[in-house]
Amino acid sequence: MEHSFEPLKNDLIVRAAWGQAVERPPIWVMRQAGRYLPEYHQAKGTRDFFECCRDPEVSSTLTLQPIERFAGLIDAAIIFSDILVIPQAMGMLVEMVDKKGPHFPNPLKSPSDPQYAELMQRHVDVSTELDYVYRAITLTRKKLQGRVPLIGFCGAPWTLFCYMVEGGGSKLFKEVKTWIYKYPDEAKALLQKIAELCVDYLALQVKAGAQLIQVFDSWAGELSPASFKQFSQPYLEYIAKHLPPKLKELGLDPVPMIVFPKGAWYALDAACDMGYNVVGLDWLHAPADAVKTVGDRPIVIQGNADPGVLYGSHASITQVVKEMVEGFGWVTRKKGWIVNLGHGITPFVNPDDLRFFFEEVHRLTKEAQ
């Protein structure tokens, strides 16, 4: 089904992500649609989190809230959804527990857990299982009317695998470390299956109207450099390598691809060679060092203000923006940088302080011309 959408009025982030020189660095923030906004709680009502994800009308309303609140200040929308829709599509039960986050009542214990064989053998059709996401994307694209591009996303295989075996967030990562050090081959077989589903899922998001995609490897930093090379990197590379031909097969043009290996600061050099256009940085990187690591490769950097600065004074916010503008070499380069936080915006942030962050990025990059 071909959709007709209004042409983009603001294609800044698309041009920047392809590595072109741009008039100012584009801005968006991870989790910009969500719980720090009072209007989010109003629109969500009594629905639970996953009900919001599964209702295209609600998902699109939530996606648009920051675009409307911060009109003219941000350059992309990101579809309101969750990385854990893939494990759900694979047949695992995931609940969102209030004040605790995602919970798998029946996580994957070991390769001898009957669930493992079921997961490996099950044919997962992401086109039907995740149809609600594509409908939300198409509806959101229509409602955006070309104001800004829409980003689609998925969780990286390693991060999804962590959730599937830990049963939720973790401090020790005991279960997943047991898997990779005790059952590495079985872990890799499942990671590969997840990677293949990610490719299909992202391709169908693009078909539905997503104009860029991001792969969130939120738990990448839990791996040692040697383990990262075995259990994360090959699957991130698989996605980057197989998505463009998959889009071509569907008669679609390529879209910019962003990878975000959070916490894996040691993997920046490797991430620049994985086949993505944009590499997201968390706040553990010094911008100038990151630029040096990228060198003359045509890679765009996204990031990387500490989300915690938004709890601070306006003077602190200004200082952090200044450090990024200088560190990412905006004045001399005029390309290669998409402004973002170094992770998702955290709860209890005052939206007016986020607005100030956006305004300072505009002011200080304009002054730097």
**DSSP 3-state assignment of 33?**
coil
pLDDT at 1: 54
Give pLDDT, residue 2: 63
User: Is 152's pLDDT higher than 90?
Assistant: yes
Q: Sort 322 into a burial class: Cβ within 10 Å, 0-12 / 13-18 / 19+.
A: middle
pLDDT digit string (tens) for 71-81? 999 999 999 99
Predicted pLDDT at 369: 66
- Please say whether the beta carbons of 78 and 153 come within 8 A: yes
pLDDT category of residue 248 using cuts at 50, 70 and 90 = very high
> Alpha helices, DSSP H only, in the chain?
12-17, 38-44, 49-54, 56-69, 85-89, 114-121, 126-129, 131-144, 157-166, 174-182, 184-208, 225-231, 233-249, 268-271, 287-294, 314-327, 330-333, 351-367
pLDDT of residue 98: 85
Q: Is the pLDDT of residue 99 over 90?
A: no
Q: What is the pLDDT of residues 273-319, one digit of tens each?
A: 999 999 999 999 999 999 999 999 999 999 999 999 999 999 999 99
**133-158: average pLDDT:** 98
Q: What is the pLDDT of residue 227?
A: 98
286 burial via Cβ count (<10 Å: 0-12, 13-18, 19+)? middle
Cβ–Cβ contacts within 10 Å for residue 273, how many?
12
Phi, psi dihedral angles at 280 (to 5 degrees): -80, 140
Q: What is the mean pLDDT of residues 235-260?
A: 98
Mean of the pLDDT values across residues 353-369? Answer: 92
Judge if the upstream peptide bond of residue 277 is cis by omega within 30 degrees of 0.
no
pLDDT higher than threshold 80 for residue 35? yes
Task: Give the least confident one: 1-15, 200-214, 315-329.
Answer: 1-15
How many CB atoms lie under 10 A from the CB of residue 227?
Answer: 16
